[in-house]
Structure 1
Amino acid sequence: MHVEERGTGTPVVLIHGAGVDHRILLPLEPVFEESGGWRRLYVDLPGMGRSPVGDVASSDDMADAMLREVRERLGDEPFAVVGNSYGAMIARRLVAELPGQVLGLAAIAGVFVATHAERTAPPRTVLHVEPGLLDGVDPAVAEGYTEIAVVQTREGLASYERYVHPGVLTVDTAGLARLGERYAFAAEPEDTAPPFAGPALFLCGRQDDVVGYADAWDRLEHYPHASLVVLDRAGHNVLLEQPEQAGAAVAEWLGRVREATGPVADVTSPAAAAVDEAPSSERRGAVQYTWRGHFEDEEVNALHAEAFEHDVLDDAWHDQLERHSLGWVVARDARGLVGFVNVVGDGSVHAFVEDTAVASRRRREGIGVRLIEVAREQAAAAGCEWLHVDFDPHLRSFYYDACGFTPTDAGLIRLR
């Protein structure tokens, strides 16, 4: 099962819904980063994303596969779990199977009743459509977005195209159809397990015509420390339609989980568990390094322009990196982004360093070296055997002496 990990600290397993992949939950990244100290495990369920369907043919099979993955990756380490839509079904099963290990449960637009005809959900409603919204939009994207969005805006469409549609394209349709034939559990988790006393959150869209919110209310007594949050002007993709309010609800839940578990030992270095600081005589604050960390296109464009001495561009870094990169490293201090490096993979054993950049206000402190170290560690963890780089002559000492690259023969053809 493919799992994308980000950060260090208390584990949080994030499980997406049916017909998409882990990217639908990535809008939560800023919430986790601001809270600090969370090791996020974004799962691609079998038959979706980068996980083959294998022999999974029912929701019971899916839950068993998820249990095996958790045990393999976490052993008996306590963890919190976030489930979105169908993923909340699987998360509820984890809570029932591992009640002493699960620290908290968040069900986002969660499925509480498997059979569609038996759900209590409002009728399909569209509250607002921006004029000209779909002009020039790919028909598949337009159809996927409009069939579920309650408030249809350009911002929402962009979020759908970024976080949802790419996962839709990965789905094993035959495998998903097979799953749909045995979608319900043999027994509902709440009917077979004692009440779960950990912090819980049921986050719902008021206009969600897929799962509604009433079925979550019906299960509330099983979770005595659950908050039920129902957001107006939101459907099944509540994270995309009401990102600020949804993020606030998840942040509050994380606070309750943290309060119940106590602080983590080190929350300053989510990717590398290391801090790069200036000498004590001129210390300017710790630097936090995050593999595949959150960033805004605007801040990377500004840093790149400063580092490579060109005008600030309007490049869509998020889209480029999600399509082409193995990963990237983000370095931040209290004031903002201070370092960045992109790692491109060939899908096999080779990885390539691109766009290494450090803010001028934090240069000559070892930040660039640490960026490369994290890139090297993560590329190796992904199964790569070789890390490549090319550079201008004045950077020879940095890459050879400080970072450990060795000279090798190479060739180059200018294409334009």
Structure 2
Amino acid sequence: MLQTLPRCKTSSGAAYLERGEGRETLVLIHGVGMRIEAWQPQIDQLADRFRVIAVDLPGHGFSEALEGAPGLSLYVGWFRRFLEEVAGEPVNVAGHSMGALIASGIVATAPAMVRRVALLNGVHRRGTDARTAVEARAREIGSGAFDRVAPLSRWFSADEESTEAYALVRDLLQAVDPAGYAAAYAAFASGDAVYADCWPQIECPSLFLTGDGDLNSTTVMARDMAAAARRGRAVVIEGHRHMVNLTAPNAVNRALADWLETS
């Protein structure tokens, strides 16, 4: 059974968790179809040294949805307002998948708000075949008739199907609000190039992490972004796919801890 973590709520309707009282703040943003609980291993291990804030995306978990058909820039604007309300100082931002696109958007448009930025399983300038596939999936989700758990076969290997991580992600996908999911997925499908040119101008320490088996957020994408960033570093976790923060939490947490110590 899905265990719900306790949340607070901002005046604008964003639901979030806050834990720890460290010298710096780490803000975690999950991917499409997920919610705060997808960050459980990072919250548990990093909150002893940092103030950790994890937020539900609009229309996910307990956060209110954005109106209409929002593009990626509107999700970035929502996130900026969230940071202004809960942070009060420059923060470290780590995003996974759709959250990684939002993280790139906030560091591109409001760099003074970001100490360090980390993109986990981030997409960057998809190829033609990948773009066609993700746009088709977006249309399917938007129609309301879609297989909620279809991503599991891409996100996990066959030998991970009996794991707690697999069960958690399956439960989160089954629980997600269809309208919130469709809106975020549409923005995700069209968002891989929106802030793609920002990296040569980004001066803060920038981590780009993925699993070597992730066919959508590929090692090439992570390395290309790291090479473009002024202070970029790529980390590739071998033997893992899209949900690497759950399937290889110790390796991911070590990479995040190293990034958080970068001055």
TM over 0.5: yes
2:199, 2:228 within 8 Å by CA — same for their partners in 1? no
Out of 150, 156, 160, the residue aligned to residue 149 of structure 1 is 156
Q: CA deviation at 1:80?
A: 0.3
Determine if the alignment matches structure 1 residue 2 to structure 2 residue 8. Answer: no
The alignment covers a number of residue pairs equal to 232
Q: Could you report, residue by residue, the CA deviation over 1:316-365 in whole angstroms, capped at 9, with x for unpaired residues?
A: xxxxxxxxxxxxxxxxxxxxxxxxxxxxxxxxxxxxxxxxxxxxxxxxxx
Which residues in structure 2 correspond to 1:282-361 (within 5 Å)? none
Kindly provide the CA deviation profile for residues 160-207 of structure 1, in whole angstroms up to 9, marking residues without a partner as x: 323x23432332212322344444249632425752121221111111
Out of 6, 11, 20, the residue aligned to residue 34 of structure 2 is: 20
Flag as ranges the 4+ runs of structure 1 deviating above 3 A. Answer: 113-119, 140-147, 178-183
2:257 corresponds to: 251
Deviation of the 1:214 alpha carbon:
0.9
Counterpart residue type for residue 148 of structure 1: W
Q: Is 1:159 paired with 2:173?
A: no
Q: Secondary structure at the match of 1:234?
A: coil
Structure 1 Cα separation of the partners of residues 39 and 217 of structure 2: 18
Q: CA deviation at 1:145?
A: 4.2
- In the TM superposition, 1:58-97 aligns within 5 A as 58-75=71-88, 77-97=89-109
**1:59-102 residue CA offsets vs partner (Å, 9 max, x unmatched):** 22211111111112223x11000000110000011111221221
Asked whether the 8 Å contact 2:124–2:196 carries over to 1, the reply is no
Distance across 1 between alignment mates of 2:65 and 2:184: 10
Contact 2:149 2:170 in 1 (8 A): no
User: For the structure 1 residues 60 and 148, does the alpha-carbon distance in structure 2 shift closer, same or farther, using more than 3 Å as the test?
Assistant: same
Q: RMSD of the TM alignment (CA)?
A: 2.7
Gaps of 5+ in 2: 1-13, 132-146
Distance change (3 Å), C-alpha of 1:110 and 1:182: closer
TM-aligned CA distance change 1:186 to 1:114, over 3 Å:
closer
The match for 2:115 is 103
* Residue of structure 2 equivalent to 1:347: none
Looking at CA atoms only, which structure, 1 or 2, has the larger radius of gyration? 1
| CA distance in structure 2 between the partners assigned to 1:116 and 1:48 by the alignment | 29
1:213–1:230: 8 Å Cα contact kept in structure 2? yes
- The within-5 A match list for 1:175-214 is 175-183=180-188, 184-185=190-191, 188-191=194-197, 195-214=201-220
Q: Distance in 2 between matches of 1:167 and 1:103?
A: 30
Unmatched 5+ stretches in structure 1:
120-139, 261-416
Match of 1:136 in 2: none
Mean alpha-carbon deviation: is it higher for 9-18 or for 215-224? 215-224
Normalised to the residue count of structure 1, the TM-score between the two structures is 0.51
What does 1:213-252 align with in structure 2 at a 5 Å threshold?
213-252=219-258
